[in-house]
Amino acid sequence: MSIDNLIINNLEEQISTINKLKQNKQVIEEIYQKIKNARNNNNKIFVMGNGGSSSTASHFVSDLLKTSLIKGVNRPKAISLTDNIPVLMAWANDTEFKNIFANQLENFLEKDDIVIGISGSGNSENVVKAIEFANKTEAKTICLLGRDGGELAKISQTNLIIPNEDMLTIETMHLLVCHLITALLRLEGKPVFSY
């Protein structure tokens, strides 16, 4: 197959996945409403993931902390659990890697805060442990997943499962959804920053 055909096929796969994702627009709206309510009520929003999902967690928090701001409205209190490398390494070294997110949540998490897990497989053990802890703390749990949703789809309160098997496509769609939620937050009033 030629490079041209590979490019077209890949782009068509993204378009096909977006079209399937439209069928889950009510879940996207539910996630948006929960994040909006957390912002309005001064609840904290924690985001986490591994690998590419770690990058998406950081990117989404960056957008929540700056791009989503609108005049006259509370600023989101968003924290990426993937960004403090010394803390991650300390917990991984002194306990186990599966505890790196839950251990951080133990310092901060309160009832009605939001914990967002991002996992293409839905089986990332450190995300699973954090969502389990969040549920016990009576936080609101949201997961962005792929494939069949894995273990996280069984325990998280709200799940958006990307209808695709390819990890790169799943990760692309997770970032697309994060940007969509950011755009929806910006539409509520006059943005503090234009871009």
Domain with residue 149: its CATH number is 3.40.50.10490
Number of domains in the chain: 1
Question: Is 19 a member of any domain?
Answer: no
- How much is the average pLDDT of 3-8? 96
Rounded Cα gap, residues 169 and 49, in angstroms:
16
What's the pLDDT score for residue 164?
A: 96
Given a cut of 80, whether residue 55 has pLDDT beyond it is: yes
With b meaning 16 or more CB within 10 Å and e meaning fewer, what string describes 157-195? Answer: bbbbbbbbebbebbbbbbbebbeebbebbbeeeeeeeee
Question: Is 75 a member of any domain?
Answer: yes
Residue 137 sits in which domain range? 26-186
What's the pLDDT score for residue 193?
A: 85
Given a cut of 80, whether residue 195 has pLDDT beyond it is: no
* Averaged confidence pLDDT in the chain: 97
Among candidate residues 31, 30, 21, the one with its CA nearest the CA of residue 116: 31
User: Would you say 152 and 127 are in contact if contact means Cβ atoms under 8 Å apart?
Assistant: yes
At 1, the pLDDT band (50, 70, 90 cuts) reads confident
Does the global pTM surpass 0.75? yes
Question: Is 121 a member of any domain?
Answer: yes
Pairs from 103-110 (Cβ < 8 Å, separation ≥ 24): 104/46, 105/46, 105/81, 105/130, 105/133, 105/134, 105/137, 106/133, 108/44, 108/46, 108/79, 109/44, 109/46, 109/133, 109/134, 109/137, 109/139, 110/43, 110/44, 110/137, 110/139
Question: Is 16 a member of any domain?
Answer: no
What's the pLDDT score for residue 57?
A: 98
pLDDT in tens, 30-52: 999 999 999 999 999 999 999 99
What's the pLDDT score for residue 194?
A: 82
Question: Is 11 a member of any domain?
Answer: no
pLDDT over 70 percentage in the chain: 100
pLDDT in tens, 63-118: 999 999 999 999 999 999 999 999 999 999 999 999 999 999 999 999 999 999 99
